[in-house]
Structure 1
C-alpha cells in the first residue's frame, strides 16, 4: 500500500498553557468539533479544540495519497448531503458543492447481453432507461411515486435536524403521512421496496441506501436499515448527494478558518487522556510529545465516539459497534470502456456506479458475511469526483485525462478481518475489482495510474484500518447504530447530552449524527450555549 504523505498543515495556533480555563474545551478536531468551536467562539465564548492528530478534519480530509502525484482525494468521506445550508450561512463558510447530473448507473446482463439502468439526465431519458431495462413504464411510475414519498418526508424532517429533538408523536404529525410513516419508521424497508417494485435490479438500487455503512438485511427486525435509509434520503430536504468543490478537505479547512477567525484555539498533536467532571466544571488531561498537561473547562464537547467518551470519563462503555465497509481510492489514466456500449463512461461513473447490487445479490452477500465468509460477489458502488470537480487534480493530470475513482464496498463486517486484516483486505480488494471488471470492456488494472515509484495508484481501507487511523469503533462510520431523529429513552433536549451535565457528545454517535453534516456540532454548541446562558 502506498505510503501516506505528510498530513495537512497544522493550525499554527498555540496550544493551551498550564492551568488555562475555557468556557468550552472540544475533544477532537473533526468537522463536527470545528462546527461547534466556530459557533461557540462566534458567540463570544472562549474555546479550545484538542486534536490527537497533527491536523484537523478527522474523516473529512483531503490528502495526496500517491507519492509524487498531484491528486488531492477526499480520503475517507467524499460526498455531501446532510450538511444544512444554515450552518454554511451561519458560519460564513467559503465552501460550495456541485450537483451531479447523473444519479446512478447500474450495469446488468439481461438475455445474454450487457445493459443497465441509467438514472438522471432528465425525466424523459430516465423513463426511457427504465423502459429499456424492464420492458414497460410500470417500474418508472413506481419509482416516481416512491421517491415522491421520500421527498415529502425529507422536506418535513430535514429542517428538524438543527432544532431541539421532536418527540416521536411530534415527528409523526409533522410528516403527516401514515403510509410513509409505516414504510419508513415501523416496517422493515424490505416490505416497502418489495411492494413498490418488481424488478430485481431496481429493488437493489433502492435498497443500497439502507445498507451503506450498516450491516443488515432488508428485513432486519431492528430496523437499523430503515434508519440508515432515512438519513440517506432526507439530506437537504431533497436527498441529493453533492460533490464538495475542492474535495472534502475544503470543508474542514473552511471550518478551521472560521473557528480560528472567531477566536477559538486549535491545538493539534494533543491527545486527551481523561475527563474529570463534577457536573459543573471539568478538568481535561492531555498528552503531547513533550509530556502531559491539564486544562479546565465549564463544558466539554466530545467529538469522538461514545466508546471513547466512556473511556475518557471512566463510565461503562456502550455496546460494541461494528463497521461493514471497504473504502478504496484510485487514480486512473483514463476511464475504462464499458461492455454496455450504449452508455458513455463519463456519465456512468459521474453518478453512483452500482456493482453486484441486485436485490437478490445483496441478500446473498449479507447471508454469506453473516455466516463468517467474504461475499462471493462483493457488492460495492463507485463514483468519479473529478468528473464533477476537476480542481482536485493538477492541471497536467486534467490535460492528460486522468480521473479519480472512489469505491465503497458493502456487507464486509469488521469480524471478517480479525484473523488477518492485511490478507483479507487484499483478497477482498481483488474480488471486488473482479466484479467491476465483469462490466468493463477492458480490465481496470490497465487504466490505473502509477505513482512516482511505479506503484499502482490504489489504496484500500477496511473497518479495522479505519479504527486504527481514525478511532472509529470497529470501523463504524457512524460510531454506533444510527438513532431515529426524535426523542428516545435517555435522550435530552438536543440529542447530545450525556449523564454528566457539562459533558456533551458532538460527534457522529449523537442522536442525528452520522455522515458529513455538522449537525451534532451545531446541536452540541446550542446545548452548551443554553447552559452557559447564551452569548457572552
Structure 2
C-alpha cells in the first residue's frame, strides 16, 4: 500500500490499528474512518475479505463462488445504510426440501411457496394437520423472539434479566435459553423428519447433541432464527465477495488504509497506547495506535498479546463447492429440482440420523450416514456465473456437512476428506435419479468442478482455530463477567476483540466490527 511504503523500519501513528481485514474488521474500519479517525488495517493475506470472499476456484471456468461463507442473515440493515454500501440480498422463495423414503417410496417435505402448499406438503408427509400446526406455532414463537432480540445486537449489551424482560415470554425463554433445545423439539413435533429439520439450525458449525447440557446448541439455534428479526437466510447478490468488496470500498473512501500482505506479529500495550509489530515481504514495521481492534480469533489475540491462550476450539463441518452442468433429477418426481435446490436441501438429517451421526463422531468414528445440507446460489442469483454458463443451464451447489469434528481428520486429513466426501455424496445420490457425478462440470484441465474443505483446511487457509467458523462456542447475546459494555472487551483496556469470537459474534453479521467501533467512539466521547 502506498501509504506505508518506506515506513517498514519506522513508526507511524494512528487512532486505531485493526488486525485482520475480514468483514468485521472492514466494518470497524469504515465506521471509525467515517468518524474522522485515522485507521490502519493489517491483513496477512493478499486481499481483504477473510472467509467472506468470492473466488473462481475452478481453472478456466467463469464461476465466482462464495468460497467459505455463503448466506446472509445476521447482517443488520443498519450497517448497510450507515456505511452506504452498494450491496443487496435476495430472499429465497423456498425455505427447504428434505427427501426421505417412506413405505418403500421416495417422498419428502418441501417448505415454502405459501400457506396452502406448506399445509399440503406436511399433510402428505405426516398424514394429517398436526405437524404443520405445531410448525406454525413453534416458528411464530421464534419469530416473536427474533423481533425482540435482533435489534439489541447493535446496542450495548443488555443484562440477562433485561433481555428476558424484552423477550416477555417465559415459555419461549425456557425453551431457548434454559433447557436443551431437544426438549422443545420433542415436545412440539412427533415426526422424525420434521424434528430433524428443526434441529439442524442448532447444529450448523456446532458439534453438539440435541440434549447437550452446555446449551451450545441452543445458542447456535438462537442466532440462526433471529437474523433480521425474521430468521430469513438470504442470498448475497454477486456472491459474498460483493459484500466485502463494498465494505473495503467504503473503508477506503472514508480514509482508512488497507494494508494487505501485512501480518501482525505482536501487540504491546500499556492500556493507553499500543504498538503493533507487523511483517511484510520487505521486513518488519511498527504501527502505534490509541486503540487496537483484533479481527481474529481469541487464540490469535492471546498469541499477539502474550496472554494465556483460551480453551481450544474445534470446528465440525465439511464445506463442498460444486459447479454442475445441470441440476440432477430427483427420485421424488413430485418436486421440481429447481425448487428442491433453491432452498436448503437436507440430506440424512432426520432427528435419529442426526443423533446417530453425533454419537459416532463423538466416539471417534466418521458417521456412516453423514448429514449435510445443500443450496444452489445460482438459482436465486445467476450473476455469479458467466453469460455462457447461464445460457447452458449451469448451476452451483454448496454443501455444508455436519458432525465431522476436526479431531477426526488429525491423523490423515487428505484421506479422511476423501472418505467423508465419498460417503456424503453417496447420501445425496440415494435421493437422486441419476448420479451427481454425471452432472458435474469439468474445468479447463478436465477435472470435476468440486472442492472440499475440512476443519483442518479452514484452519490452514484462514487460521480459524480448529476450523471453527465461529472462532469458539457462540455466546448468549447478553452481558456476562468480563464482556464489557459492548461485548468486545479484553483484559487490555485499549485492545478490543472485533471478530467472530466476540460476544454476539459468528456468521456474516458485521456486528462485532460495529460494536468495537462504537466502543472506541463512546470511550473517546467520555
Alignment TM-score, normalising by the size of structure 2: 0.99
1:325 maps to 317
Structure 1 position 88 matched with structure 2 position 49: no
1:343 aligned residue: 335
Q: Which residue of 2 aligns with 1:227?
A: 219
**For 1:482-511, what per-residue CA distance to the aligned partner results, in whole angstroms no more than 9, with x for missing partners?**
000001121100000001000000000000
Equivalent of 2:286 in 263, 285, 294: 294
* 2:490 aligned with 1:498: yes
What is the CA distance between 1:15 and its match in structure 2?
A: 5.8
Partner of 1:467: 459
**RMSD of aligned Cα (Å):** 0.9
Corresponding residue for 1:363? 355
Residue aligning to 1:533: 525
- 1:144 aligns with 136
Q: 1:255 aligns with which of 244, 247, 271?
A: 247
Distance in 1, Cα, partners of 2:225 & 2:172: 13
Match of 1:43 among 10, 35, 49: 35
Task: Tell me, in whole angstroms, the C-alpha distance in 2 between the residues paired with 1:145 and 1:506.
Answer: 36
Moved over 6 A (4+): none
1: CA distance, partners of 2:2 / 2:345: 40
User: In 2, distance between residues paired with 1:533 and 1:36?
Assistant: 17
Aligned-partner SS, 2:11:
coil
CA separation in 2, counterparts of 1:12 and 1:466?
A: 31
Per the alignment, residue 280 of structure 1 pairs with 272
Determine the structure 2 residue equivalent to 1:215: 207
Is 1:15–1:266's contact at 8 Å kept on the other side of the alignment? Answer: no
After superposition, give the CA deviation of every residue in 1:194-249 in whole Å (9 maximum; x if it has no partner).
00000000000000000000000000000000000000000000000000000000
Give the aligned partner of residue 5 of structure 1.
none
Whole-Å Cα distance in 2 between the matches of residues 13 and 335 of structure 1? Answer: 48
Matched, 1:183 2:141: no
Q: Does 2:108 match 1:116?
A: yes
* Corresponding position: 1:70 with 2:62: yes
Structure-2 residue corresponding to 1:437 = 429
Matched-pair contact (CA < 8 Å) for 1:16–1:48: no
Match of 2:44 in 1: 52
CA contact (8 A) 1:244 1:250 kept: yes
Structure 2, unmatched stretches of 5+, are none
Q: 3-state SS of the aligned residue for 2:268?
A: strand
Deviation at 1:532, TM superposition (A): 2.2
| Aligned positions, number | 524
Task: Give me the whole-angstrom Cα distance separating, in 1, the residues matched to 2:449 and 2:109.
Answer: 29
User: How far has the Cα of 1:55 moved from its partner?
Assistant: 0.1
The 2-side partners of 1:16 and 1:23 are apart by 20
User: Which residue in the other structure is 1:521 paired with?
Assistant: 513
SS at match of 1:329: strand
| Equivalent residues of 1:15, 1:265 under 8 A apart | no
> Aligned partners of 1:478, 1:172: CA distance in 2, in Å?
24
Corresponding residue SS for 2:368? coil
Q: Which residue of the partner structure matches residue 4 of structure 1? A: none
Q: How big is the shift at 1:159?
A: 0.1
**Which deviations, in whole Å up to 9, do the C-alpha atoms of 1:301-350 show, x marking residues without a partner?**
00000000000000001000000000000000000000000000000000
For residues 96 and 276 of structure 1, the distance between their equivalents in structure 2, rounded to whole angstroms, comes to 40
2:406 to 414, 438, 445: 414
Go from structure 1 to structure 2 and tell me whether the alpha carbon gap of 1:423 and 1:177 turns closer, same or farther (over 3 Å shift): same
Q: Is the 8 A contact 1:353 1:383 kept in 2?
A: yes
Q: d(CA) in 2 for partners of 1:14 and 1:129? A: 60
Instruction: Find the aligned partners of 1:297 and 1:379 in 2 and give their Cα distance.
Output: 47
CA offset at residue 12 of structure 1? Answer: 7.4
1:299-318 correspondence to structure 2 within 5 Å: 299-318=291-310
Q: Does the 8 Å contact 1:273/1:312 carry over to 2?
A: yes
The offset of 1:16, in angstroms, is 8.2
Match of 1:242 in 2: 234
Q: Which residue of 2 aligns with 1:7?
A: none
What TM-score, normalized by structure 1, do the two folds share? Answer: 0.97
Give 1:362 shift. Answer: 0.1
SS at match of 1:20: strand
